[in-house]
Amino acid sequence: MSALHWNVFLSAAQPPPITSRKKGPPGDKLKMILGLGTFVFIIAALIFLKTFVFGAYKAPSGSMAPTLVIGDHFFVSKLAYKGSIPDRGDVIVFKYPMDESLDYVKRVIAREGENVTINDGIVYVNNKRIKEDYVQFLGSEYGIKVPPMRNFGPVTIPPGKLFVLGDNRDSSSDSRYWGFVPMENVKGKALFIYWSENEDRVRSDRIGGKIH
């Protein structure tokens, strides 16, 4: 066999060269694992916060105007009343006693054992007029249509219950119409507005406003 044929034979008989798959640096895999772990942690933390710490709600009507108006989105602290009860003047979110699938937002006016009377729109608790700089009488076009009720009571708040009113007193379905709020229905305390808009624009002047 000639040298030329011999070289051709040897070339054909040799197995193809083994090529190694290019591997990234060992740190790439660690970075990927850490990134995935961080993502999972963030999602779990958000779920935990939404479930146990904060709730996000939207004002459905003008019954709390001007404190909350239609289009206001606000945060609620779910931990505010763990081991305590709301103070007079707190704005709370609660399950509507007549239909617990609905959430209402109103202001606490009186707590258990206190006596409430309303005379010509002025509220008295335990026979003393309370200061209410937030109250407006804006009319039914701003919220739920209910007959104005500027005279009410006297009533004594039962144990474990709250008496609540809307700030827009002539347009609020509240304790004057359907009774008291059981403490177990309270979901939390309204904190601040994180977004506000109407049909035409973003109301930047309301964003970040503390609810009080």
DSSP calls for 54-74: EEEEE--SSTTTTTS-TTEEE
Decide: helix, strand or coil at residue 40: helix
Q: Is 63 a catalytic residue?
A: yes
Burial label for 159, CB within 10 Å (0-12, 13-18, 19+), is exposed
Closest-CA residue to 109 (of 98, 101, 121): 121
Tokens of 198: 């109407």
61, 63, 172, 173: the catalytic one is: 63
Tokens of 41: 């942690």
Burial label for 201, CB within 10 Å (0-12, 13-18, 19+), is exposed
Other CB atoms within 10 A of residue 56 CB: 11
What does the buried/exposed string (b/e) look like for 116-127 if buried means 16 or more CB atoms within 10 Å of the residue's CB?
A: bbbeeeebbbee
Tokens of 135: 């109250």
The amino acid at residue 191 is L
Tokens of 33: 């694992």
How many whole angstroms separate alpha carbon 46 and alpha carbon 27? 28
61, 78, 106, 196: the catalytic one is: 106
Annotated catalytic residues are: 63, 106
